Amino acid sequence: MDYQPEAEDAWQVMSTSEKGFVSRYAVGRDYHKIIRSRLAKLADRIRRELGSGEFRAFVDSAPVLERAVAEQSGLGWIAKNTMLINESAGSYFFLGEIYTDIPLPHSNPKQEKHCGSCSACLTACPTDAFVAPFVLDARRCISYLTIEHEGSIAEDLRAKMGNRIYGCDDCQLVCPWNKFATISTEPDFAPRWDLDNPNLVELFSWTEDQFSERLQGSPIRRIGHEKWLRNIAVALGNAETSAEILQALKSRENHASSVVREHVAWALNQHN
């Protein structure tokens, strides 16, 4: 399901230091619920048509190797950036699955990877997370660091993160195949709360209640307020120095979380 929204230019946002960049899949509503609901409806329709069969829908909701399954089914190939690429849709799409016991015709897997000699994704990675073509060191990946990683972010990676506060799209933005990606017409994927071009100081001022309320139904809400502040503190540390940014950072110097305090102290030190 295509997800690329009508949004502010990603490169423009990343080059404006007082702004924050959010991976384009996350600027709208949570895709998990949207796609899983539609898959469940599709499964019900198939069951009614056949009068039998067991079905279960998945969208990142179980240990399903989605990209490998998709490649084996012929939907695309796993590229050098470890994303699944479809030759007519690029990589800006979500995957979902229905597991079933009904007999289906065999699908032929993609036999070729159409990356050729291109290495744009490998060299574009801000943290050099690609240790080789088709091999990603998740410990250095900004998407992992800002979403899944608990606790402190390694100091040597913080400056490289720029103003990316949730996820990272760089390896997709430079991929030539994404010239074929289409803009999604799904209203739920449209940006909310200006997350396609947000002001870092404003986001940093959100209380925990505001964070929970405003990001209701967003995939970002899952990381929690502490990680949210940690990520933004890093971005503020990488921003151009201004009185507004210094004031924002100092407002969190004595935050209850030691993780937030650590990253705020680092950010202030960057400006000093």
For the annotated catalytic residues, the residue numbers are 60
Neighbour tally for 102: CB within 10 Å: 12
**β strands within the chain, DSSP E:** 21-22, 55-58, 77-78, 84-85, 97-100, 130-132, 135-136, 164-166
Cβ contact 77:84 at 8 Å: yes
Question: With helix as H, strand as E and coil as C, how does 12-71 read?
Answer: HHHCCCCECEECHHHCCCCHHHHHHHHHHHHHHHHHHHHCCCCEEEECCCCCCCHHHHHH
CA 230 remoteness from chain centre: 17
Q: From CA 126, how far away is CA 128, in angstroms rounded?
A: 6
Nearest-angstrom CA–CA distance, 198 and 202: 8
Kindly list the distances between the CA atom of residue 119 and the CA atoms of 90, 122, 123, in Å, as whole numbers in the listed order: 16, 5, 7
| CA nearest neighbour of 161 among 13, 14, 32 | 14
The single residue listed with the structure tokens 């979902």 is 96
Other Cβ atoms less than 10 A from the Cβ of 67: the count is 18
